[in-house]
Each structure stands twice: as C-alpha cells, then as structure tokens.
Chain A
Amino acid sequence: MLSPGQNWTDRMILIVDLTNPEIRILSDQFVSPVYRIVHQCDQETVAVRLEQICISQSCIGIIICGTALADSWYMQQQLIPLLEGWKGPVLGISTGMQMLLSETGGELQNYTGIGMTSVHVTDIGKKDPLMKGKEEFSGYVLHRYVTTPSPEWVPLATSGPTVQVAGHCTYPWYGVLFYPEVRNEWMIKRFIAFARGF
C-alpha cells in the first residue's frame, strides 16, 4: 500500500545484472530489454550488478536477469544471501531462476535449450496471479541447465518434464526459465502490477 504523499515513482523495481563484469556488453542484451519494459510501464527502476545489490526501503520488487549461454561467472556467486531479509516479490529470469532454485535446494542438471518452446500452464499455475488466463504459449529459451525445484517451489508452467515457471510456496518469488522479454512482455508487466499491489 502507498503511504500518504507517496506515488508509484517513489517505489522502484530493482533489476539485477548477473552477467560477467568483464564483458560489459552482455548487459545490452540481457538487462537493457528488461529495463526498457519496466520503464515503459512508468515504473521507477534501477539496474545494479549482482555484487552491488542493496535493497532499499523504496524497493517493491526485484527482477534478476539472465546471461549468455557461454557465461558461467554467476555460478561462482551466491544470490540468496544478498536477498537476506527480503520477503517481497522476486522474478528470476533464466539464470536468475537457476540461482533462486538451486540455492534453495533444487537440483541442477545439464540440459541445453535454445529457441522457441511450447509452455503449458499447470492447474496450480492457472490460479496464480502471474499466469492467470494463460494455458499454452511459446517462450524463448536460452539455457545450459535446468533446475528440478525443491519442495519449497511449485511448478506453474512446464515444457514436458522441464519446469518453465515456478512459484515459491512461502515468499512471492517466481522463477521463469524462458526469457519473458522476448514475445512475452506480459509476464514482466504482470510482475510489476503484482509488485505494486503487494
């Protein structure tokens, strides 16, 4: 809820860049498109590097972006300790999802996916605010790994045995394996609406 004198622009979405810091150009491809969508929603936003996460009181939600197939820098990093104390909305995209799920007990498996894939919303997903009204659609994937989630997470959408969207059972945290900025901007827009109303 808004405090008196506050408006939406006082409250911002934190976008986390987990691309390799030595290859800055990756941010153009993996962070800037998400930033633009959030900005187009008239939502105040700031993009920070993973190692510079600082969650201020004005933060209403966090989006963790993905990175290139060949990039493994993020695998030497830890995300969950940086989110310590944060119980608000999180959307982890691709490698962002991988970090969220694997650091909360999920099992990482080698499985490469490149290109458009069919995504089916589960029965639980159909009732979730992020996925409501969606049944089947195509998503753009670019990953070297998939994560089998721990029981802390529930699958909201799948492609065969692969979990494409997962929701945390306790916190308003989501992981999405495909890149929603490619042809599925609605998901980022819904996440923003969800974060605003949380």
Chain B
Amino acid sequence: MKVGALLSGGKDSLYAAWRMMQTGHEVACFITIQSRNPESYMFHTPNIGLTRLQAESAGIPLVIVETDGIKERELDDLTSAVQRCVREYGIEGIVTGAIQSVYQASRIERICHQENLWCFSPLWLCDQESYLHSLVSEGFEVIIAGVFAEPLDETWLGLKIDIPFIQRMKTINDKYHLSPAGEGGEYESFVCNAPFFKRKIIIIETKTWFEHGAGGYVITRAELD
C-alpha cells in the first residue's frame, strides 16, 4: 500500500515510517505541517524546517504546508495536504508516530476517515523503553532538540539517544514518572540518520536556549554528508 507519512523531524514520525517500509508498504511521500504558532499542540516541533533534508536523504518527496496553527483550524490545513498527497502520489493511508496522544491520534483518524484513507500508528501504546532500544539498535541517530520538563535541563540539549541515555531516562522515569520516549512533551528530538537515509545529516551550527525550565537546540545550519 502507498502511504503518506506525517513528518515532524523527530524520532517517532520517522520510526513509524520505517516500520511501514519494513512491513512491505511504500512511503510515497512525507507530509510536514509547518506551524507559525509555537503553542500548536499538533505540529510545532523544533527544527521542523529541516525535514526537507531528511526527505531528500530518504529520496522521498516532501509536501510542506504552512499553517497559522490556530487550534482545530490547523486540521483543515492538514486535510488539504492529505488531499494533495492523494492526488499527486496516490496514497491510500497516512502513518503517524502517535504513541499515547489521544488528542493527536483521534484528530488524524478523523481526517483519514473523512478522506477514506487508512490510518496507521504502529507505535501506538508501545513499550517505550523497548522502542528506544530498537531505535538505537536499528541505526537511528537521534539527538535531543528540546527539553520541557524537570529534571531535564540544558545539559540534555544536543545529547544523542544511545544506551546510556536510555538508562538515564529509565532512572528519571522511576523517580519523576516522565515518559521515556518523551510522549508527554518532556523532550523533542531530531533524527540525523536513519536506516533508509542515503546520507547522514551533518549539523554545522546550532543555537541553544534554556529558560524557565525549558530549552531548545536549534539547528541553524546543516547539510547532507
């Protein structure tokens, strides 16, 4: 089946797309919704402007749609993007990286239902620690692009998700009950390399910020290896 994968630049959207490929489906296009509203529940992630490098590296066309990010109205923009993907790439389904977010999952399910499309969320309610281990063992190179919950501070920004990271998250989870995969918005990630990338993304310049318990690792310059 040809599917379109929602792409935020983070680990969940790219791993979900990878699972679809692994099970014999074709990711015919990526869809990125670029929100001008930093408070958007649905679409705002740090470094979303760099999904074009990820798509280029994967050799998969990218459809980018800008939205004002006004709650619920941004879903109309997503619907338009999905309709365009149906017309241009003949997709029959949408893939999301939703893990626990009922808010996100149900809104995308509604759009898919309305457009007669399949909706796939292969990470839905997955064991988050096992998932992080799969990311590492399957060759994903992921860095922390934003932190939004205590005790995650500026020292976490730019860290690579590897075995020591998973162990640290596990310890923190035991004490603070944070979602190990950051599904509660505790942290955001950015994927520099994936098993289906032809070239790795090299980060050349970054700008970090941290205030009032939240921080970002903004990639200001990057290119394909």
Q: When chains A and B are docked, how far (Å) is the Cα of A116 from the Cα of B105?
A: 11
| A70-B117, A114-B113 known; A28 vs B1 contact (CB < 8 Å) | no
B109, A114: Cβ atoms closer than 8 Å: yes
Assuming the contacts A23-B1, A25-B20, A116-B106, asked whether A70 and B93 have C-beta atoms less than 8 A apart, the reply is: yes
With contact pairs A24-B23, A36-B127, A69-B112 given, residues A183 and B102 touching in the complex (Cβ less than 8 Å): yes
Is B122 within 8 A of A28, CB to CB? Answer: yes
Residues of A contacting B221 in the complex (Cβ-Cβ under 8 angstroms):
none
Which B residues are in CB contact (< 8 Å) with A36?
Answer: 125, 127
Closest residue to B107 on the A side, CB-wise? A115
Q: B106 contacts which chain A residues (CB < 8 A)?
A: 114-116, 140, 142
- Could you mark each residue 82-126 of chain B with 1 if its beta carbon is under 8 Å from any beta carbon of chain A, else 0? 000000000001000000001000100110110011111111111
Q: Size range of the interface on A?
A: 20 to 34
Partner of B119, one of A24, A32, A68, A144: A68
How many angstroms from the CA of A17 to the CA of B120 in the assembled complex? 16
Contact B118 A29 (CB under 8 A): no
Task: Tally the A-B contacts, defined by beta carbons under 8 Å.
Answer: 61
- CB under 8 Å from chain A, chain B span 15-45: 19-20, 23, 25
CB neighbours of A33 from chain B (8 A): 124-126
A33-B125, A116-B102, A182-B102 are known contacts. Are A25 and B109 too (CB-CB below 8 A)? no
A32 touches B126 (CB 8 A): yes
Chain A residue with the shortest CB-CB distance to B125: A33
Contact mask B164-202 → A, CB, 8 Å, 1/0? 000000000000000000000000000000000000000
Contact status A25-B122, CB under 8 Å: yes
A26 to B95, CA, bound (A): 11
Report the Cα distance A29→B120, complex, angstroms. 8
- Are A70 and B112 touching (Cβ within 8 A)? yes
- Chain B 1-20 against A: per-residue CB contact (8 Å), 1 yes, 0 no? 10000000000000000011
Set of chain A residues within 8 Å of B93, measured between Cβ atoms: 70
**Which residues of A are found within 8 Å of B120, using beta-carbon distances?**
25-26, 29, 68
* Beyond A28-B19, A28-B124, 14 extra complex contacts between A and B, CB < 8 Å: A23-B1, A23-B118, A25-B23, A25-B25, A28-B123, A29-B122, A33-B126, A69-B109, A69-B112, A70-B119, A114-B106, A114-B109, A142-B109, A182-B102
Interface residues of B, Cβ cutoff 8 Å to A: 1, 19-20, 23, 25, 93, 102, 106, 109-110, 112-113, 116-127
Chosen A-B contacts, 8 in total, with CB atoms closer than 8 Å, are A25-B25, A28-B123, A28-B126, A32-B125, A70-B117, A115-B102, A115-B109, A183-B102
Question: Interface on A for B, CB 8 Å cutoff?
Answer: 23-26, 28-29, 32-33, 36, 68-71, 112, 114-116, 140, 142, 144, 181-183
